[in-house]
Chains A and B, each alone.
Chain A
Amino acid sequence: MVEFDATAEVNLTGFALVSSIIISTGSLAWGYASMGLETIPRWMIAFGALWLVSLWQGWKWFSPLGLFLSVLSAILGLWFSFPIGWMFSGAIFALFAWDMAELRQKLHFMTSRDDVKGVARRHIARVSFLTLGGLLFASFLILWWRQWTDEWGMFLLGATFIGSLQIIAWFRR
């Protein structure tokens, strides 16, 4: 059995986790802010910052709470007819972050002789495909309801860019 350096995989999932938290809370805040609200987006950004702090502090209970509150915010946003894309993005990336938090925890416990690289790669690949599918589905809904905006297009490009960066970094190693 080949031995791997688990640190690189943990760093990689850490990057994916931080990115997804920022995108999730950012999307929701952007969606709420685009409807003229000011206070709630600030609270959402503060919550996102707290979520990031929870990673540093090792609060394992925070990621389920983050998922729950993000999905709840998305439901409320959709109820008030806020932009579908940002609400979907907030919920999907919160799901991604919750999943990554669990994976990261698991990778921490694995020894250097375990198949850390394989486990991490397969898991991130699967969850990335699911996220991509979710975003495409959201885009389809946006088109269906004729809510397409330039911001959403830029966001899709940005998300694709970050995903591509990650894949390139993977292959380069």
Chain B
Amino acid sequence: MSRIALLAALMGVTRNCMSRIALLAALMYLIILAGVGMLNGAMVALALPLVLYLLAGLWRGPEELRLTAERTVSAERIAPGDSVIVELKVTNHGEALEQVLLHDPLPAFLTVVEGSSSRLVSIPANESISWSYTLQGRRGSHYFGEIKATAEDHWGLIIKRAVLPTSGQLLILPPVSRVRHIAIQPRQTRVYSGVIPAHQGGTGIEFFGLREYQMGDSPHHINWRVSARQDGVIYSNEYEQERVADVGIVLDGRRRVNDFSGGRSIFEDSVLAAVAVSSSLLSEGNRVGLFIYGKRNKWTSPGYGKYQRERIMQDLALAETGETQNFKSLIIPRRLFPPNSQIILISPLGGGELNLLSQLRTRGFQLMVISPDPVSFEARVLGDSPSVKLAARIARLQRELLLRELRHAGVQAINWDVALPFEQAVRASLSRPPAFLRAIQRGRGAG
């Protein structure tokens, strides 16, 4: 039996106390009524052991609980799989408590790997009890707000409950997957220098074009070969400026496209992709914002650097799938994601995104879709029967068709089979822009 089930059962035991009293009272009533009705003294006397049993419980029932609790958590931020030790100290400021159940409620994503989050103990008056347990967990955040105390009398008939306030917080951040470089080419960049080609001549690395020599140009930039063919005109090489860009990451947390039968979800892979992409883009100096479209629609306003990375990580730690409104009606505020900036949608797709993405495209956004493949994800656990193979084939064809339509709409769509590590699976497709964007780039350069 799992620890959670045990705790649930233990709480059930305490809830049974009222029914125990009711049973005893009913039996006493039955015995006395029968004894009096039949004028049978022995029968009335039979109620005495039950009366004594009940009175003993009532006589030494627990007083109002005067307990305080202190908590120490060994770490506030951990990665999935790391352990954290929770130390608890409960002090009894009232009378001695013979049986008190102390239960530290934990959310489902946390697992006790050593010790126990509940104790059934005796606490003498004005004394304390301390214990600790070790936790591990999946991605998420938990505030340790209270400890529940339930005290019983000697017979388990009378119970008193109290909630002991404590403090402490645990944030389990999503796992970090490193992607070296993500090649994006938004139509508009910001003024600060970075690594995104700005489609403007200036200082940079990549050749952009030629222009007439101007005072102040470095002699190293003079294109002597071209200048030699012209009479009296000297030409300088011009390089493409590289700047930072505005990038908006949209994480699709709709339950209908993320969650599958058997409690399995591809959403964790989407979160992992969001972490990798945001970390990579922020490390290159870009201004990155995040929008989580899941249980709660959460905007993380755009920002730069490590502080922004921390904000995004915290928001991703709390991200959950949920039943949200129609994705088609999604409105992206201009102040968060300016027009002509880059938007990266991380979504398994399959929920009518084509219209939305087409609209965003027409509004000038450069779009990239990173799509964890739900067909492979689901097919892997469904077995190899002919019907499953056929269904998977049909679903895969539909998905291919959707991805092709997206590419025709000018969206850079990347399919990710989540069986492969993210960085390995997307390295080739993310490290350089797609062919159609390079063609556009060449066209602009020629123009």
**A interface residues with partner B (beta carbon < 8 Å):** 1, 64, 67-68, 71-72, 74-75, 78-79, 84, 87-88, 91-92, 95, 99, 102-103, 105-106, 109-111, 113-115, 118-119, 122-123, 126-127, 130, 133-134, 137, 141, 145
Query: In the bound complex, how far is the Cα of B43 from the Cα of A141, in angstroms?
Result: 11
Task: Report yes or no: A113 in contact with B13, Cβ–Cβ below 8 A.
Answer: no
Pick from B30, B48, B121: contact of A115, CB under 8 Å? B121
* B96 adjacent to chain A (CB < 8 Å): no
* B228 adjacent to chain A (CB < 8 Å): no
Task: Report yes or no: A106 in contact with B120, Cβ–Cβ below 8 A.
Answer: yes
**Residues of the B chain whose Cβ atoms lie less than 8 Å from the Cβ of A113:** 115-116, 119, 131
Pick from B40, B118, B120, B154: contact of A126, CB under 8 Å? B154
**Residues of the B chain whose Cβ atoms lie less than 8 Å from the Cβ of A115:** 120-122
* Nearest CB in chain A: distance from B178 CB, A: 41
Pick from B7, B23, B45, B155: contact of A67, CB under 8 Å? B23
8 A-B pairs closest in CB distance: A134-B49, A109-B10, A111-B116, A78-B43, A114-B120, A110-B120, A84-B42, A71-B27
Query: In the bound complex, how far is the Cα of B122 from the Cα of A11, in angstroms?
Result: 22
23 A-B pairs with C-beta separation under 8 A = A1-B129, A64-B19, A64-B20, A67-B27, A71-B46, A71-B50, A78-B43, A79-B34, A79-B40, A84-B42, A88-B46, A95-B50, A99-B53, A102-B20, A105-B13, A109-B6, A109-B9, A109-B10, A111-B119, A114-B121, A119-B99, A126-B154, A137-B49
Name A134's closest neighbour in chain B (CB-CB). Answer: B49
- Encoded as 1 (CB less than 8 Å from any A CB) or 0, chain B from 222 to 258 comes to 0000000000000000000000000000000000000
**Residues of the A chain whose Cβ atoms lie less than 8 Å from the Cβ of B46:** 71, 74-75, 78, 87-88, 91
Task: Report yes or no: A109 in contact with B45, Cβ–Cβ below 8 A.
Answer: no
Query: In the bound complex, how far is the Cα of B34 from the Cα of A74, in angstroms?
Result: 11
* Nearest CB in chain B: distance from A140 CB, A: 9
Query: In the bound complex, how far is the Cα of B41 from the Cα of A145, in angstroms?
Result: 11
**Residues of the B chain whose Cβ atoms lie less than 8 Å from the Cβ of A75:** 30-31, 34, 43, 46
Which chain B residues numbered 27 to 63 have a C-beta less than 8 Å away from chain A? Answer: 27, 30-31, 34-35, 38, 40, 42-43, 45-46, 48-50, 52-53, 56
**Residues of the A chain whose Cβ atoms lie less than 8 Å from the Cβ of B154:** 122-123, 126
**Residues of the A chain whose Cβ atoms lie less than 8 Å from the Cβ of B6:** 109
Name B28's closest neighbour in chain A (CB-CB). Answer: A71
Query: In the bound complex, how far is the Cα of B120 from the Cα of A114, in angstroms?
Result: 6
A102-B43 in contact given A71-B30, A95-B50, A111-B116 (Cβ < 8 Å): no
A130-B120 in contact given A75-B31, A87-B46, A106-B13 (Cβ < 8 Å): no
**Residues of the B chain whose Cβ atoms lie less than 8 Å from the Cβ of A74:** 46
Name A107's closest neighbour in chain B (CB-CB). Answer: B120
Task: Report yes or no: A109 in contact with B120, Cβ–Cβ below 8 A.
Answer: yes
Query: In the bound complex, how far is the Cα of B41 from the Cα of A84, in angstroms?
Result: 11
Pick from B34, B40, B48, B156: contact of A102, CB under 8 Å? B156
**Residues of the B chain whose Cβ atoms lie less than 8 Å from the Cβ of A109:** 6-7, 9-10, 13, 120
A137-B20 in contact given A71-B27, A119-B99, A130-B56 (Cβ < 8 Å): no
Task: Report yes or no: B43 in contact with A79, Cβ–Cβ below 8 A.
Answer: yes
* Nearest CB in chain A: distance from B394 CB, A: 48
Task: Report yes or no: A119 in contact with B122, Cβ–Cβ below 8 A.
Answer: yes
A130-B31 in contact given A78-B40, A102-B20, A113-B116 (Cβ < 8 Å): no
Task: Report yes or no: B53 in contact with A130, Cβ–Cβ below 8 A.
Answer: yes
* Nearest CB in chain A: distance from B185 CB, A: 59
Query: In the bound complex, how far is the Cα of B156 from the Cα of A122, in angstroms?
Result: 12
